[in-house]
Every structure is written in structure tokens, then in C-alpha cells.
Amino acid sequence: MLAEQEAEEYSEGQNFEYLGLAQSYRLVEGEIGQGTEVFSLLRDSDLESSEYLDTFFDTGSERQEVADTAGASDEVVS
């Protein structure tokens, strides 16, 4: 995925790291194209990478959809 590659490259030489988690929101209006930023989150934390992901993104109460390459999505509720 281009967004993941871009995030990895963007984090090089910065004071933060890309943890391999990419999220986006479905746009209701407007057009999206290559390079359109749909969501970005940077957060300071003293937690180790895996603990950070568990604390903020793997809480067990997530409601999210996983999009396939054809653009369809399946809802995943943890």
C-alpha cells in the first residue's frame, strides 16, 4: 500500500517511528487521489511500540472495517 510506504519513508530521520499501523476514514464527499491525506495521528508516548499499540489501538472494543483491494469492505468488530 502506498500510504504505508509513504509513512515509513516519512518517519526516517524524524523524532518518531512508524509502527506499521495504517488507518483511514471513508470520505463521504470529495475526490480522493494519490497523495491525498485522509487522516494523520502523531502522539508522544513513553510506551514501547507493542505496548503503545495494545494500549491505544487493540483495546478489544474497536469497530473497524478492513478494505480489500477491490474497494469493498468487511466490518470487523472486536
For residue 2, which of 32, 42, 43, 47 has the smallest C-alpha distance?
A: 32
Cell numbers given for 77: 468488530
Cell numbers given for 65: 472495517
Alpha-carbon span 3 to 21, nearest angstrom: 10
Contact 24, 39 (CB under 8 A): yes
Task: List, in sequence order, every beta strand (DSSP E) within 1-78.
Answer: 63-67, 73-77
pLDDT number for residue 46: 94
pLDDT number for residue 45: 92
The residue extents of the domains of the chain are 2-77
pTM to 2 decimals?
0.60
Print pLDDT tens along the chain (78 aa). 777 888 899 899 998 899 988 777 777 777 777 777 777 788 899 999 999 999 988 888 877 777 665 554 444 443
pLDDT number for residue 70: 56
pLDDT number for residue 75: 45
